[in-house]
Amino acid sequence: MTNKKIALSILVSCVMLPVIASAQNARQAELLEKYGASSSFLGADAGSLKASPIPEPKVQPVGVPQEFAGAEPISYVGTAVTIWYALGAQITDNAPWTNTPTFEAISDRVMRASKSKAFPARKAGQPSLFTDEGFIREYEQATNGRFSSGNSARFLVNGPASFEAKDALIRSAKKSLLISSWAFYDDTTGYQAAQMLIAKKNEGVDVKVMLDKKMLAGHGKKVYKLMKDAGIEVLAHKESRANDIWHVKVMIADDQYAIAGGMNFGDVYSHKGGTILWRDTDVMYSGPAVLEARKLLVDVWNANARKNGLKSIDARTTGMPFEGGSARVATVMQNPPQDSNILISIIKAMYGATKNINIENAYFVSLPVVTQAVLDARARGVEVNIVTNSKESIDPEGLVIVEAMYKCLVPLAEAGANVYLYNGWRSPGDTLHSKFMTVDGEFADIGSYNLHPRGERYDTEVNVNILDRGAVAQLDAAFAKDVKNSRRVKSAADLGGKPSFMGNVANNYFYAQLEAAPAAAEGLSRE
């Protein structure tokens, strides 16, 4: 980035902060007015897909104070903080004194780690590489995530299914609850979760919560205070780099069960309160893999506990029995900027495909290595299906990256990938927030990782990799349903409309690196 562009970025950001915040508040109000009155939702866990009743948005939930009963408003301060750190990241990473790797360098590193001489990618119609134990061992080594056997795995499709499971685990916890989230919201879901956790704390259960410190400027200040005042240990985690975000969403109950995925503790995720109802997916699992997830969280907690006045977590586990099952599960953490474990797990899985790749990701802004992996899969005859948000369905805070998303998707569609823009399961106001991928009916990857530059360079994430045909079939069924609620894009003409002013600002001053993506992809090693 040139000095001129850096200066322009600062000027644009300072001028546009109130404009963006106002636009986001207006967008949120518009969506609530148009789509906030539905009383039912077709969705539970992917195995049953039963209808689950949702409270009427205008009805205040029983026992919830008025200050938590409505949708949490978008905070001007929170929006300003988010944009400030985005600006800081953009400037810092293009400054001459930093050694942050470029996206082209990241892509090259990930490609080298993903492609294999021992297990080269196969043409369509041949056995999936995920049926080869040698490839699976190599996959573990490349991703720094070990598959453990004997786990149960059940996908929780949408908030009613996920929060029914979360609430049940909290209420039944006997020894410990360890919860990591990007944020708790000051709404019905955040309040109810806080009250349940306080009740368990009073019963003698060891309750610990990890949140991103920056996000407290815009989400959950009241709920945070409730938990702290009740004696719950809450780590407001601050990453070592100023612009990074703790985006990990994992809940562990009694060291027996874990739930991971894309959902935070808020009404848009749970569908409990009067707000827009997002489409999201979690996974609940029980078995040895839970202890791997626990270790990742405990290591971060203990490294930061003392300086935050908190107690360390005993490395010893509760010894509670697992449910167990047939799934092989690996937990993968990624901590930028040098670590790309999750992106490697996604790309290497794509090179293991011989039948189909299903990608569902809320904010699909492809790095060069993702573009190349899709193009290579199509060259092998592998079917590639991608579902992401449309301009109509994306959340207000994501509106500014829609043009960047569309720009990345068109070349993939023109190469033969099936690209779908989400219309919403109920209405265009319902944002797609899922982050998962399946390969060949054999493998699934799910978690908090967004397939966009910010997710790769700045956000600490945890994803779960699963080998189990039964569980993967559940996720593929949910994916097929989302395809039906989307529209197909074959070329730029199918996108419709003109680029927005803010979209152009994002492209020119915050996503300038995307200009090099197609050329960089062509320069990566081909099959």
How far, rounded to the nearest angstrom, does the alpha carbon of residue 407 sit from its chain's CA centroid?
A: 21
3-state secondary structure of 442: coil
pLDDT tens digits, the chain, 527 residues: what are they? 454 554 455 445 444 444 454 455 455 555 555 544 333 333 333 333 333 333 333 445 668 888 888 778 667 777 777 777 777 777 777 777 778 888 889 999 999 999 999 999 999 999 999 999 999 999 999 999 999 999 999 999 999 999 999 999 999 999 999 999 999 999 999 999 999 999 999 999 999 999 999 988 889 899 999 999 999 999 999 988 888 899 999 999 999 999 999 999 999 999 998 678 899 999 999 999 999 999 999 999 999 999 999 999 998 888 889 998 999 999 999 998 778 999 999 999 999 999 999 999 999 999 999 999 999 999 999 999 999 999 889 988 788 888 889 989 999 999 999 999 999 766 655 899 999 999 999 999 999 999 998 889 889 999 999 999 999 999 999 999 999 999 999 988 888 767 677 677 766 666 533 333 443 444 455 55
Distances (CA, A) of 160 to 41, 270, 323: 9, 6, 22
- Asked if 154 and 474 count as a contact pair (C-beta separation under 8 A), the reply is yes
- Asked if 268 and 275 count as a contact pair (C-beta separation under 8 A), the reply is yes
Interatomic CA distance for residues 491 and 407, integer angstroms: 10
User: Residue 492 burial (CB < 10 Å; 0-12/13-18/19+)?
Assistant: middle
DSSP 8-state class, residue 310? -
Res 270: pLDDT: 96
- Asked if 209 and 234 count as a contact pair (C-beta separation under 8 A), the reply is yes
User: Residue 525 burial (CB < 10 Å; 0-12/13-18/19+)?
Assistant: exposed
Q: Which of 293, 359, 351, 292 is nearest to 138 (CA)?
A: 351
Taking the complete model, does pTM exceed 0.85, yes or no? Answer: yes
According to CATH, the superfamily of the domain at 103-523 is: Endonuclease Chain A (3.30.870.10)
Interatomic CA distance for residues 73 and 67, integer angstroms: 11
How far, rounded to the nearest angstrom, does the alpha carbon of residue 405 sit from its chain's CA centroid?
A: 16
